[in-house]
Amino acid sequence: MSIKKLAEYLGLSKSTVSRALNGYLDVNKDTREKVLKAAQELGYKANPTAKRLASGKSRTLGIILPSDSNMFVSPAFAKVLVSLSEFLAQQDYQLIVTTIFDWQDETQVYLDLITSGLVDGIFIARTRCNDLRLTLLEKHRFPYVCFGFEEGFSKESFIDVDNQQAFYQLTQRQISLGHTQIAFINASAELTLSQARKEGYLRAMKEAGLVIESDWILHAELKQENALLMTEQLMQSNNPPTSILCADDSMALGAIASCEALGYKPGINIAITGYGDYQHSRYVKPAITTIKYDTSAVGKEMAKLMLNKLENTAFHIQNWHQTEMLVRQSDCHARASKI
Amino acid sequence: MSIKKLAEYLGLSKSTVSRALNGYLDVNKDTREKVLKAAQELGYKANPTAKRLASGKSRTLGIILPSDSNMFVSPAFAKVLVSLSEFLAQQDYQLIVTTIFDWQDETQVYLDLITSGLVDGIFIARTRCNDLRLTLLEKHRFPYVCFGFEEGFSKESFIDVDNQQAFYQLTQRQISLGHTQIAFINASAELTLSQARKEGYLRAMKEAGLVIESDWILHAELKQENALLMTEQLMQSNNPPTSILCADDSMALGAIASCEALGYKPGINIAITGYGDYQHSRYVKPAITTIKYDTSAVGKEMAKLMLNKLENTAFHIQNWHQTEMLVRQSDCHARASKI
DNA sequence: TTGTACGCGTTATCAT
DNA sequence: ATGATAACGCGTACAA
């Protein structure tokens, strides 16, 4: 059932039918109704591919995820993705989720996607400092929206949670619990969120006049195993911390396991915190003190931001999203020594 | 840079260029090389949309996930999805991930996708008994591949793990540990995997000559909260089980929490098992005895199966994938009473 | 081996 | 308000 057939059936021209279907004003009201009715009855559905070719727009957006990372598996990000995709679906937009391999040239993959005509815009998941992907997108003047902020980003192109504030709060809490030796197992250093979090941590430490050991600030990918190893090193050093901030709840779980293996009691004589409020976090023992944010809202805002760029919509955007600290059992007061 | 421009630049016709580019045999070797070289130099990229329109194929596959479920968040399934998408990408296929809302008519959503021309085939994530989606797809003779098996499914259309065997093993193990009162918090009853698992459970119980209480077989969506409530009910009944099989590791975590709240000690005086080997499972306490399977292999096989349908490829397919039992600390010998 | 011409299903421009 | 016609970029019979 093509528009041609529909036009023939109605005794009208393709053009008129097309206009009626697409809500143009210069079409007789009766005609429009007839067309709409016939389309309904005959089950006419415009062919999206043809629409794309003719209009030059694909009504499809892309997001490229590293296949090896656990980003896809990270509960918090998965929720953002679901919410993003949901809102887009409501606006008749598709989301293509592509993965990228280690061995692939990232810039090339992005370039391919940009020039493919497959997508009208691209979402960037975790921005990096001086992100080459953004340079590329800017250069090609290709619409994008990122989840992550760096100095200089335009309000039209980013959504982020206040990572700095989150870790400022978390660190402050540790300090108020009496901790002076606070380690921080941060995410990969190249991520903007890692920088923001580090700033929050440093700010709280400095405000309290605490000594900051550079050995206490570590970076790694968000994997339990990494946190496990790092915690082991930290706790077996000459100067072990009494509190460890982890970059996410998976890492917190690894840190907890590591501490227990070394004879510590997380939540009693060693404080550990996470981030993201993963599903399991409130059920593990000790339940993880963590940070949560409104994942659905973030996803939705990202979609809105993109639509504002692509359509003539003017959704009101909230660039920054606040976080909430969930105090549970994995952190605790500082103790003089092992129990 | 269109094929037209490229042809003009080369002083050839569009058709020749097209043939050279698409590897047809009836084109002069020198010509082909020239074309390929020029395409490379000028950075020519065929417009996928135009290809689609002309060929009638979209080189895109779809998968529809319920937005409210945690399927997207389930680590095991997310891995399947990544692997699926990876393999497809290698074959120059795209994967569109769509979500469906509670309030949407599922059949209509599938029908829309089928008739949209957006995708060449559809993946079905969790098959249900007498699945209406499959009826629809069959009726439209639309290519599909499912993850899940039911009697009558064609070898050309499904991949599954041996759920029956997995729960047979798991139940057998409980029996060998001395348990006679084994409850089973199963996934939703309409899923084929739930039926298969139940059969495995029942087979082991019957072989051992154990009484099967119908009250011990429960069904619920894979959420910690559900397992929490159900475990509470089970353990507070007149005849509490000494072992509880859960449909996944999230549920196991919920069951563990519930038992502990009631004063039991999971892994000591109450046995609990999971399924899926989620990331957290080996780090929680007690570490969850669970079932794992090769998620990457499953995703890849699904992709291969689809390609065999769509292209003239003949990948060798392994329909059934074996599971492996990971014995950890959450299950234990049966005890006479609470400690 | 190469070129011509048409079709794919739309949208958009220009008359009428 | 409506219709004819030309794009959009590619594949592909058919002709040469």
User: What are B184-236's pLDDT values in tens digits?
Assistant: 999 999 999 999 999 999 999 999 999 999 999 999 999 999 999 999 999 99
Question: Which of A2, A80, A82, A110 has the highest number of chain B CBs within 10 A, making it the mutation to test binding with B?
Answer: A82
Q: What is the DSSP string of B64-116?
A: EEESSSSTTT-HHHHHHHHHHHHHHHHTT-EEEEEEE-TTS-HHHHHHHHHHH
Chain B residues inside the 8 Å CB shell of A266: none
Model confidence over B239-270: pLDDT tens digits? 999 999 999 999 999 999 999 999 999 999 99
Is a pLDDT exceeding 80 seen at residue B337?
no
Whether A49 sits inside 8 A of B53 (CB atoms) is: yes
Strand C bases within 7 angstroms of protein beta carbons: 1-5, 7-13
pLDDT tens digits, A55-111: 888 889 999 988 765 655 577 888 898 899 889 988 888 888 888 878 889 999 999
**pLDDT averaged over every residue in chain B:** 92
pLDDT at B68: 67
Option in A47, A254, A280 nearest B253 (CB): A280
The pLDDT score that the predictor gives to residue A7 is 93
Least confident stretch, A161-170, A225-234, B41-50: B41-50
Name the residue facing A96 among B67, B96, B253 (closest C-beta). Answer: B96
Length of chain B: 339
pLDDT of residue B72: 60
Q: DSSP character for A223?
A: -
Model confidence band, residue B338 (pLDDT cutoffs 50, 70, 90): very low
- pLDDT tens digits along B108-156: 999 988 888 889 999 999 999 999 999 999 999 999 999 999 999 999 9
**B93 chain-A contacts, CB cut-off 8 A:** none
Q: Do B279 and A250 touch (CB under 8 A)?
A: yes
> pLDDT class for B336, splitting at 50, 70, 90?
low
| Dihedral (CA of A140, A145, A146, A149) sign | positive
Percent of chain A with pLDDT over 90: 76
Q: Which among A72, A89, A260 is the nearest to B99, CB-wise?
A: A89
Residue A95 (CA) to nucleotide D7 (C1'), in angstroms, measures 28
Q: Half-sphere exposure of residue A32, counting CA atoms within 13 Å on the CB side?
A: 11
At residue B71, the pLDDT reads 53
> Residue B284: CB partners within 8 Å, gap ≥ 6?
A253, A280, A283, A284, A285, B253, B256
pLDDT at A56: 87
DSSP 8-state symbol, A128:
B
Question: Which residues from A are below 8 Å from B97, CB to CB?
Answer: 85, 95-97
Q: What's the pLDDT at A70? A: 62
Residues B64-84: pLDDT tens digits? Answer: 988 765 656 577 888 898 899
In contact, B330 and B277? CB cutoff 8 Å: no
Phi, psi (rounded to 5 degrees) for B26: -80, 55
> Cβ contacts (< 8 Å) between A274 and chain B: which residues?
none
Q: A15: which nucleotide lies closest, measuring CA to C1'?
A: D3
Contact B116 A48 (CB under 8 A): yes
Q: Give residue A91's pLDDT.
A: 87
Verify whether the Cβ–Cβ distance A253 to B86 is below 8 Å.
no
pLDDT at A86: 86
| pLDDT confidence of residue B339 | 43
Give A96-152 pLDDT, tens digit per residue: 888 887 888 999 999 988 888 889 999 999 999 999 999 999 999 999 999 999 999
For residue A48, give the nearest of B244, B37, B117, B323 by alpha carbon.
B117
Average pLDDT score over residue span A43-56:
89
Q: Domains in chain A, start-ordered, CATH in brackets? A: 3-46 (1.10.260.40), 60-161+294-322 (3.40.50.2300), 163-293+325-336 (3.40.50.2300)
pLDDT of the residue at B70: 62
Say if CB B322 and CB B161 are below 8 A apart: yes
CA dihedral (B29, B34, B37, B39) positive or negative: negative
Is residue A78 within 8 A of residue B81, CB to CB? The reply is no
pLDDT value of position B78: 82
Pure H helices in chain B: 3-10, 14-21, 29-42, 48-55, 75-90, 106-116, 132-139, 163-176, 192-207, 224-236, 249-261, 295-310
At B144, the amino acid letter reads Y
Cα angle value B104/A47/A58 (rounded, 5°) = 85
Check: CB of residue B123 under 8 Å from CB of residue B61.
yes
Average pLDDT value over all residues in chain A: 92
Q: How far apart are CA A339 and CA A272, in angstroms?
A: 16
Rounded to an integer, the average pLDDT of B320-327 is: 98
* A62 alpha carbon, distance to own chain's centre: 14
Conformational region of residue A66, where left means phi above 0, alpha means psi within -120 to 50, and beta covers everything else: beta
Residue nearest to nucleotide D12 (CA to C1'): B15
Contact flag B115-A75 (C-beta cutoff 8 Å): no
A284 CB neighbours in chain B (<8 A) are 253, 280, 283-285
Confidence grade of residue B96 (pLDDT, cut at 50, 70, 90): confident
What pLDDT is stored for residue A94 in this prediction?
87
Q: Name which of A268-282, A317-331, B89-103 the model is least confident about.
A: B89-103
Question: Is the model's pLDDT at B238 over the cut of 50?
Answer: yes
Instruction: Enumerate the nucleotides of strand D whose atoms come under 7 Å of any protein CB.
Output: 1-13
Closest CB to A49 among B52, B81, B85: B52
Q: C6 C1' – A294 CA distance, angstroms?
A: 54
Residue A194: pLDDT above 70? yes
- Strands of the sheet containing B182-186, edge to edge, are B217-219, B182-186, B243-246, B271-273
- The partner residues of A293 in beta bridges, in order of sequence, read A323
CB contact under 8 A, B97 and A99: no
Q: What is the pLDDT of residues B165-197, one digit of tens each?
A: 999 999 999 999 999 999 999 999 999 999 999
- pLDDT computed for residue B65 by the predictor: 85
Residues of A in Cβ contact (< 8 Å) with B112: 45
Residue in A49, A78, A86 closest to B78 by CB: A78
For residue A97, what pLDDT is reported? 81
